Structure 1
Amino acid sequence: MHGPAPSGWLLVALCAAAGAYCLLRMRGSAGEERRAAGGEALMGFGMAAMAVPGTVFTPPSWAWPGYAVVFGAAGLHAGWAARTRPHHLHHLAGAAAMVYMAVVMASSPAGAHRHGGSGIPLVTGTLLLYFAGYVLLTGVRLVPAAAAPGGGTAAAGWADRPELARACRLSMGIAMVTMLLAL
């Protein structure tokens, strides 16, 4: 992605940690919650890989179309699942944003990967507006869970903490806003 290397590495760490936590949630869940955690893990690790600073590692030419195919397939799956479970619409929006960023990066000249100035402003702005709203809404929903006395039981495992799942989603939303701003 564009931008300075330190912020890129912070995004890599944040997204990889979120992806790892989602794998823990996936391991401790079943059914629909397990599938949602798997999709979020894919998103976290994909965002981590995409956020590696371009000054440190320049992906091969096939990487960006590969991202577009993987996240296009994830978007199709989320769209299909959203027919009966509307909360998958957010996963569809996330996959669409990843496909968009991959296509923009694939079509940008090599030098532009470090200097910005790529992307379609209307699409980027729409995605930014969606994810900024998502971050604000998720943050508001997280506050009561974190502020409640005994906001989680001491016996609950890491994968069983709904406030941690919300914090994970919030951090990935913030990372998506950051990546779209850097586009």
Structure 2
Amino acid sequence: MTATTPHLVVVMGTAGTGKTTVGPLVAAALGVPYAEGDGFHPAANIAKMSAGIPLDDDDRAPWLDAVGAWAGSQAGAGGVVSCSALKRAYRDRLRAAAPGIVFLHLTGDRELIAARMAARQGHFMSARLLASQFATLEPLEDDEAGVAVDVTPEAAVIAERAVAALRRL
């Protein structure tokens, strides 16, 4: 990827890593549209997560397909979408829908992420689900196109580091 190549990026990571905050910043820096992955969840998924019940693979399948369909529709033009993409199988499903996609894995200390989740208001994702998210998380493997960026700094710094790393791919 070069600075002039349209980027198709999934901003991934557990809840509370800042996907919704960092994703639009990365999209703006790359000059491509942004889509909020939470907006692709069926109502049943949101109800389940609001009740503190973790999603299973069957719950995630239609959501991943919707995210993948959006990403596939951006092929050639580029785009950034947030999606936890916690498992390799989920990322494989997204890659099948949108070949050439790359992943921006937002990583951080569990305590920092838990504190951020506790401070946010109006989000359906219960902080009680963070442990299940970390248990499910399979970090990017060496053969997966993507980068990992630590979420300790402020969002603008995270986005700047992310864009620089993505441009090196």
TM (norm. structure 1) is 0.31
More helix by share: 1
More strand by share: 2
| Structure of higher RCO (CA pairs closer than 8 Å, 6+ residues apart) | 2
Larger radius of gyration: 1
